[in-house]
Amino acid sequence: MLDATAAAHVLTSAERSQFARDGYVLIPAALSERQRAEMLAVSLERDRRFRMEPNVGPHHVLNEHDLVGKDQVWFDTVSLPKVFVKVLGLMGWNIQLFHTQLLVTPPAPQGSEPGPYGWHQDNNRMNRDLGTGLHPMVSLKVGYFLTALPTSGMGNLCVVPGSHLMESTREGSLATFRGSASWPGDVSPEHVEVIAQAGDAIVFDRRLWHSASTNISETTRVFVTFGYSYRWLRTKSAMHFGTELDSFDPLLRQLLGAATSANGYFDPQPDDVPLRAWIEEHLGPDAVVP
């Protein structure tokens, strides 16, 4: 959770520039070894249960949503200072947690086609409903690498740097990248496979074109994402917490979707958004986005 160490992790000008240019920024050693080990242990236990289900084989990918509420470690990850303060720097105080996802990608069957598959922008139907032109960010994701990805071919996250600046055409089915020719979502564009050490994190714009990739290594890859959006957006995960929101501290209540009224999501009052006062007190008034 947020604490006195948060001010040491504010978004730097270099990180802001990279995020604006590329649509993502890597944060080295975002997790302590203890945090990473706890998250990894919980993830592997979820994966063990998954592989006991009927018709699940050794090569199936675990893709589990709605993590918060299933284990305390995910509550503890919602606002980790080293990363969450970067999110505040990019989005401001009127935000919520709106999506969580665990991906455990074991080695693929021998002879599988390497490389990316399933190019997309996040939030699905939003991309069509917003129509043509340059879309707003609206949300971003933090991805935590719980296992090391020192080379490509390990089920790495694939991204097209700068593709968040694409203008959508044909109701979002095609995209034009910086004035170049369009490509369909099922054609692999020029991309990079993200290389990371265990415990690193990536923060990326939901508009960034990204993809899963085939794990042709002999190592299982474990990756967990926490998505943050503005509070007026419907959550993408079910957000079952197993307890009343009143039992959490005010900052966590905001991030888990609490509001004093339905209109509090659109016209927030101080009790709706304690993050605003927290930012002003701990990061200074200049850090408060209007």
Three-state helix/strand/coil letters over the chain: CCCCCHHHHCCCHHHHHHHHHHCEEEECCCCCHHHHHHHHHHHHHHHHHHCCCCCCCCCCCEEEECCECCEHHHHHHCCCHHHHHHHHHHHCCCEEEEEEEEEEECCCCCCCCCCEEEEECCCCCHHHHCCCECCCCCEEEEEEECCCECCCCECCCEECCCHHHCEEEHHHCEEECCCCCEEECCCCCCCEECCECCCCEEEEECCCCEEEECECCCCCEEEEEEEEEECCCCCCCCCCCCCCHHHCCHHHHHHCCCCCCHHHHCCCCCCCCHHHHHHHHHCCHHHCCC
Residue type (1 letter), 78: V
Give residue 78's pLDDT. 95
In order of their start, the domains of the chain are 6-112+137-153+196-207+216-287 (2.60.120.620)
Q: Which residue is associated with the tokens 């994402």? A: 225
- 85 phi and psi angles, rounded to 5 deg: -65, -30
- Tens-of-pLDDT digits for all 290 residues of the chain? 787 788 889 999 999 999 999 999 999 999 999 999 999 999 999 999 999 999 999 999 999 999 998 999 999 999 999 999 999 999 999 999 999 999 999 999 999 999 988 888 899 888 888 888 889 999 999 999 999 999 999 999 999 999 999 887 654 444 443 333 334 545 567 889 999 999 999 999 999 999 999 999 999 999 999 999 999 999 998 887 766 777 788 999 999 999 999 999 999 999 999 999 999 888 877 777 76
